Amino acid sequence: MADRLLVVEDSKPIARVICQLAESLGFETVVASTLAEVETLLHGDTKFFAATVDYALPDAPDGEAIPCVLSHGVQAVVMTGKMDDITRQKILAQAVVDYIPKENSQAFLYLKRILHGQQVNHENGILVVDDSLATRNHVVELLMRRNFTVYVASDGVKALEVLEQHPDIKMVITDLEMPNMDGIELTNELRKRYSRDRMSVIGISGASNGIHSARFIKNGADDFLRKPFCPEEFYCRITQNIESLNNIKQIQRAANTDYLTELPNRRAFIQIAQNKLPKYAEQGVIYGLAMLDIDYFKKINDNYGHDAGDNVLKMVALYMRKHLPRAMLARLGGEEFAVLMEGVDEDQLFTRLDDLRRELSVAQLPYENQQISLTISIGVVFNGTGSLASQMNEADQALYNAKENGRNQVVISGQED
């Protein structure tokens, strides 16, 4: 069921814009235009994930809807036309997610970013390291408001233990002075274990000069906060660092994924297989490497068009996923795919690949109003001994033999006769 967003807003056009952007994020929206309506809704059975709260309403001109929403355990993002410092202080003194001045259309883009963050931030684990319980609790409370998954440790040594147990942690916020292992030593240790594209480190210190920020950064931290910090600055730095980690992850994923089939591409296959082969040899794991190619694929493009060809490539990838759920699959390029499968003997591997071949050979792949039939050829190396490149060549040679022998077959290298 969709999460529900309460939109507290007396201007109908603004409420409509907020509802549209919230619905584009998958929220179900309920609008209230007065404090009285808010109270009625919150006393009812409807559960709300969060609320956007207009600061001034006809029956609540001075932000009275904010404590009302918060007292019902609903997170509030405040939208305000008032920009003065007293209003800002008054809003920030309450446990709101954020406040957004309604100055221009940027405000709505920012709101969308905040709401999306509230939906997905639980996927981001953040470790807070501080020996002061008061500071730790303050930072934890700020992070919880933004729905992050939060862990705590009271010094560097304990922080490393927590990190071992929770691989989902993406960010460490660490104080400088702590017993056993201080923030600088911890940052150093973290950088030995986690690269910058895997983990973000933010240092915190109360020192008034700039020395500590430079020390943190030079020891591998990504950012620095000076105590006392205001919630706005804190959130800006956290969000920016988390977003850049997630952007790097997305770029890495795009660079390693075939856009059409969403299988790993050649680069990813080679990288992963090159890591796996020495481990298989070391641990005596049995495995097979196969090259798979669609027969006469050019004719499919010629007869049905390039889009139909693309669709066939996607369908073949789906059949491969179905028959080889535990194998590593990849589209190497064009109409050529690769399979790396561990823990199966030669007969089992042959049977799985041949089942895939057989099912595809009798399938009628639908495309628009047409049914497309095809066959595939597969070349396999079982428990190869050479480098990945030489095993791929060997599998390619077996594939070539499968094509030469009439296509629509699986050939295991060394068993051609």
Query: Which positions are annotated as active-site residues?
Result: 335
Minimum CB distance to ligand GTP smaller for 117 or for 309: 309
What residues contact 16, with CB distance under 8 A and at least 6 apart?
none
Give the nearest distance from C-beta 265 to ligand GTP in angstroms: 12
Minimum CB distance to ligand GTP smaller for 301 or for 361: 301
Helix (H, G, I), strand (E, B) or coil at 214: helix
Within 13 A of 188's CA, how many CA atoms are on the CB side?
8
Within 13 A of 55's CA, how many CA atoms are on the CB side?
20
Residue 314 interacting with ligand GTP (CB under 6 A): no
Helical (H) or strand (E) element with 399: helix 388-404
Residue 335 interacting with ligand GTP (CB under 6 A): yes
Residue 361 interacting with ligand GTP (CB under 6 A): no
Residue 397 interacting with ligand GTP (CB under 6 A): no
Minimum CB distance to ligand GTP smaller for 94 or for 257: 257
What residues contact 392, with CB distance under 8 A and at least 6 apart?
289, 291, 338
Residue 294 interacting with ligand GTP (CB under 6 A): yes
Residue 306 interacting with ligand GTP (CB under 6 A): yes
Minimum CB distance to ligand GTP smaller for 110 or for 296: 296
> What one-letter code names the amino acid at 135?
T
Helical (H) or strand (E) element with 152: strand 149-153
Residue 37 interacting with ligand GTP (CB under 6 A): no
Binders of ligand GTP in range 201-260 (CB under 6 A): 260
Position with the least CB separation from ligand GTP = 309
Residue 295 interacting with ligand GTP (CB under 6 A): yes
Give the nearest distance from C-beta 359 to ligand GTP in angstroms: 19
**Cα angle for residues 109, 111, 112 (degrees, 5° grid):** 65
| Selection from 220, 189, 180, 185 nearest residue 202 by Cα | 220
Q: By CB under 6 A, how many residues form the interface with ligand GTP?
A: 15
**C-beta of residue 380 within 8 angstroms of C-beta of residue 350:** yes
Contact segment (CB under 6 A) with ligand GTP among 240-248, 262-270, 304-312, 386-394 equals 304-312
Residue 301 interacting with ligand GTP (CB under 6 A): yes
The C-alpha atoms of residue 9 and residue 20 are separated, in whole angstroms, by: 14
Binding pattern to ligand GTP, positions 38-67, x when CB under 6 A?
A: ------------------------------
Minimum CB distance to ligand GTP smaller for 175 or for 396: 396
State the sign of the Cα–Cα–Cα–Cα dihedral 84, 86, 89, 92: negative
The C-alpha atoms of residue 371 and residue 368 are separated, in whole angstroms, by: 8
Q: What number of helices (H) and strands (E) belong to the chain?
A: 15, 17
Residue 298 interacting with ligand GTP (CB under 6 A): yes
Would you tell me which residues interact with ligand GTP (CB under 6 A)? 260, 293-298, 301, 306, 309-310, 313, 334-335, 403
